[in-house]
Each structure stands twice: as C-alpha cells, then as structure tokens.
Amino acid sequence: MEAVPVPGPDGKQTLMKLEDWALQVARSLEKLTGRVDQLAHRNDTLNRENQRLGDTVARQQAELASALDRITRLEEKLGDCAATVSELERAFADIDQRFTNIAGGIAAATHPGRLTEDEYGHHDLAKRYVDFVQQQVMPLTLQSSSGAHLSPYEQARVVAEICLLLFADVEPEPAGLAEVLTRGQLGVDRRALTELCEQARLIRTEARQLGRSQRWVFHAPDDRFDAKRQQQFVGSAMGHEHELAVTLVVAPSYVVGDGDGDGNGNGNGTSIAPQQVFTVRRDAAGPSGLAPRV
C-alpha cells in the first residue's frame, strides 16, 4: 500500500497511508468550505445591514435639512414678531406716559398737595439718587493717587463732571469717569466705575418707567442761591441767601412733570431732588462758571 510522508507536530516526517492522508485532506477542505460559506453569508448580512443604515442616514439627513429649513423660517418670523412687539411696546409706553401725565395733572388739580402712586415712586427714586451721589460718587474724590488732597471746590468740580457723565443724555461709560479721575489725580478702580455706571443706568431707566415727563436739570438760570430749590455742597461758603453766589452746579436736580420752566425746575415741573451747588460769598473772590466742563 502506498504511503506519503506527512510532517508531524515535532517537525519530523512520518509515513501515512495515502488513503488516510486523502481522507484527512478531504475533511480539512470540507471544514474550509463550510467556513467560507459562513463568511459569505455574514458578508451578505453585513451588506444588507449597511444598506439599511445608509437609507436610514439619508432619510434622517433629509429630515434634518427640512427641520433646519423650518427653524430658519421660524427665526425669520420670530425676528419680525420681536420687531413688532418692540414697536408696540414703544407705542404703549408713549400712550401710557401721556395717560399718566394727564392723570397726574387731573389729580394735581382735583386734589392739590396729594401725591399719586407714581409720584410716590418718583420721591423714593429721588432719595435713592441723592444717596447714590453722596455715598457712591462723592467718596471718589477722596481716593487720591498722588497723596495730595483736593480743595473743596476741586472736589465739587470732579463730582460735577462725573454727575454730568452719569445723568446727561448720553449713556454713562466707565472710560469717561476714569478720564475725569485721572485728570484730578484720583484713584481709578475700573470695576467700581463699571458698577457706578450700571447703578446710574438703573436709576435713569426706573425714572423713565415711572411715567410722567422727568429730567435732570444741570443748569441754574443765574448765580443767585435759592435755598428752596438748591442745597449747598460740602465746603461751600456759608451765609444768608443774598450773601452767596452759585459758582458751580455739582449735581442736577430731579424734576418731574410738564414744562421746562426757567431751567431750574421752576414752572409746571416739580423739583423732587434739589440741585447740589457750590457757593462762595459775593464779597469774596472765587472760581466762576456755573456748568462743569463736558
């Protein structure tokens, strides 16, 4: 019987009957054929799964594109709605202020000396404004960066310029306050100045929201001191009204109601918070100029 050499596990060749060897080879081929069939079936399954995933991804991408398109259209409509709402809010605020002015005028004529709810709000706000100037603004003039102390008038001048920046028509900015303090050789705390501007904005915004025409009056009609509508700033000269002259409006008055009057809160408006002014004696030489430099 024929035999063929077959390598063994130890690498040495042994003789195996040809029939046995052929049978072993056939069994190995049968196993390989079965494994190839399994791999082919698995490959078909994976191809079908990949196709399903591809279809799902394509469908989801189309749905996402459609959703993004709807979102874009909704955002455009939302922008239009926001603009419409803002326009309506402005119109309502204008109507509300007109109504409040009319109601305030009727209440003032019908019940002289009686305050409306809004007027109480203005009085509360005026107190906060005065406290703000005294407790937040005035201390800035004491933070010298050079070691030197400003004179009372120099302090008043710095406070006047800061108040003008905080309560004039333009929005207050920390950079403007820093420039004033630097020019006066005073300490500059950027974070504190930012907070100062924010507090001033809140006061101004609340004043507008309370209704009725309101304004901050920075100018005096002349240099005559009026104790009914003005208060003397720290360091001012003392004396009887006729002996004093106003040389600087330090902090504006807060005036509520219609009419500009004489520019000092006189007329139809009511001065709720008086002006802070720096006064000198008329018989003494002193600084001049009623308005601070812008």
pLDDT for the residue 197 = 96
pLDDT for the residue 262 = 44
Structure tokens at 223: 């240099």
Task: Give dist(CA 180, CA 107) in Å, integer.
Answer: 43
Task: Give dist(CA 173, CA 196) in Å, integer.
Answer: 9
Q: What residues form DSSP beta bridges with 232?
A: 277
Would you list the domain boundaries of the chain?
A: 47-114, 115-281
Q: Which of 207, 196, 195, 201 is nearest to 254 (CA)?
A: 207
Half-sphere exposure of 247 (CA within 13 A, CB side): 21
Helix (H) or strand (E) holding 14: strand 13-17
Task: Give dist(CA 22, CA 27) in Å, integer.
Answer: 9
pLDDT for the residue 117 = 47
Name the least confident of 10-24, 74-88, 96-110. 96-110
The CA angle 63-64-67, to the nearest 5 degrees, is 85
Name the least confident of 56-65, 82-91, 190-199. 82-91
Task: Give dist(CA 176, CA 182) in Å, integer.
Answer: 10
pLDDT in tens, 119-152: 678 899 999 999 999 999 999 998 777 777 889 9
pLDDT bin (cut points 50, 70, 90) of residue 204 is very high
The pairing of beta strand 13-17 with beta strand 253-256: unpaired
pLDDT for the residue 93 = 59
pLDDT in tens, 40-79: 888 888 888 888 888 888 889 989 888 888 888 888 888 8
Task: Give dist(CA 105, CA 11) in Å, integer.
Answer: 118
pLDDT bin (cut points 50, 70, 90) of residue 198 is very high
Whole-model pTM?
Answer: 0.56
pLDDT for the residue 212 = 65
Task: Give dist(CA 106, CA 93) in Å, integer.
Answer: 20
- For residue 43, with 0-12 CB atoms within 10 Å meaning exposed, 13-18 middle and 19 or more buried, which class applies? exposed
pLDDT bin (cut points 50, 70, 90) of residue 103 is very low
pLDDT bin (cut points 50, 70, 90) of residue 85 is confident
Q: What's the average model confidence in pLDDT over 281-285?
A: 74
Helices of type H across 144-184: 152-167, 174-183
Structure tokens at 81: 């709605």
Q: Helix or strand or coil: residue 115? A: coil
User: Is 194 a residue whose pLDDT tops 70?
Assistant: yes
